Amino acid sequence: MLVRAERALVDGALVGPVLLEVDGGRIRAVVVDPERVATATPDVDLAGGTLTPGLLDLQVNGSFGADFADATPQEWAAALDGLASRGITGIEPTIITAPIADLHGAFDRTLAARRRHEQDTVTRILGAHLEGPFLSPERKGAHRADWMLDPSREHLDALLANPATREVLLTVTLAPELPGALAAIERLAGDGVVVSVGHSDATAAQVHAAADAGATMVTHLFNAQRPLNHREPGVVGAALADERLFVGTIADAQHVDASVVGIVAGAARGRMVAVTDAIVTAGLPNHTWLTFGGDEVANDATGLGRRRDGTIAGAGIVLDEGVRRLVAAGLDPAVVLTACTEVPARSIRRDDVGRLAVGTLADLVWWDAAWHPERVWIGGVERDTA
């Protein structure tokens, strides 16, 4: 299949026209030479709009009525289909703090869902993101403090005793100031797990020590962590200053003001990973009450998921809406889109997704002028986005 686009995201820049050759579900050639593109006879000719890789959301707790901690097979299918229709072609289902026995069950179901859907034209399950239980009660956010644990060897042994957990676990968010945390980071990183600093009251020095031990990311910058101070940079300052760390940032323009997202993009150039922190209510009408993390939650009028007491529990949007909000606020579309594609892929050490490049999977999104996904391909197979 030959695909011609007037404009496409290539190597972090919007360029065009571009010609892609797709074969066997992968991109086999990327042509940006105007003369060669003009003389080609494409199978798909995309006039106007913008072609990009599929979006990757590395922190998504659920959507379309599914909570990935306990979703049924039917709920998994609905969520993966709904996300794909919105241009999200890869996710890390995120499981929040719970008793270890419950986490085992969540990872069993996540692995089963990945196996069930690995040949389908739906959103890919890249691996699971465990957010907790090794978090600071001082920065618990919507997590239950009574379920939190120190990342001791015994607790890690218990977590990793489940074969499904070892197979599907990709990212662990933890607080590096907890007893035993640095040893836990070394162990997890040594096993190939991405370790992310989050829900943490750590000082900047403690965050840098976590990076020394193998941590490579920070979870939802500014939210549930020690803030930036001019004499104690905290988690925020350390994340922006330490070039070893990718910086997860919620892209709903509510958890973090869009102007601050722009500051993060400039300070952590090439390291900002746009995420949603989406929860079960994402994609549903506002004020629809459902259960998430053991308590009720619903979206408010802005699309924020909130507990009954007003505590923010997560975002009620999916990532394409985050793109629209940030671009509407004046951020460079190429920067926003790269933070949703190439940078998250690099942060989880994947070179086969997130880019329009030779050898990558042909997961593609064609956007209209208002940044709504018009057409989506998974592995070179077009989906119905209606």
Q: Is the peptide bond before 17 cis (omega within 30 degrees of 0)?
A: yes
Q: Is 91 annotated as a binding residue?
A: no
User: 154's torsion region: left (phi>0), alpha (psi -120 to 50) or beta?
Assistant: alpha
Query: Could you tell me the CA-to-CA distances from 313 to 81, 145, 255, 266, 365 in Å, in that order?
Result: 24, 14, 10, 27, 29
Q: Is 223 annotated as a binding residue?
A: yes
Rounded to 5°, angle at Cα 292 from 290 and 294:
110
Q: Is 255 annotated as a binding residue?
A: yes
Residue partners of 191: CB distance under 8 A and separation at least 6: none
Q: Is 44 exposed, middle or buried (0-12, 13-18, 19+ CB in 10 A)?
A: middle
Q: Is 313 annotated as a binding residue?
A: yes
Instruction: Decide if 277 is catalytic.
Output: yes
CB 265, CB 331: distance < 8 Å: yes
CB 282, CB 316: distance < 8 Å: yes
Q: Is 372 annotated as a binding residue?
A: no
Q: Is 298 annotated as a binding residue?
A: no
Q: Is 231 annotated as a binding residue?
A: yes
Per-residue DSSP letters for 103-135? HHHHHHHHHHHHHHHTTSSS-EE--EEEE-SS-
Active-site residue identified among 252, 277, 320, 363: 277
Q: Is 142 annotated as a binding residue?
A: yes
Q: Is 6 annotated as a binding residue?
A: no
Task: Dig out the tokens for 320 from the structure.
Answer: 């394409």
CB 103, CB 68: distance < 8 Å: no
Q: Is 314 annotated as a binding residue?
A: yes
Task: Dig out the tokens for 145 from the structure.
Answer: 């403090």
Which residue, among 158, 205, 214, has the nearest Cα to 185 in the 3D structure? 214
Q: Is 241 annotated as a binding residue?
A: no
Q: Give catalytic residue positions.
A: 277
State the binding site for Zn(2+).
131, 199, 220
State the binding site.
131, 142, 199, 220, 223-224, 231, 255, 312-314
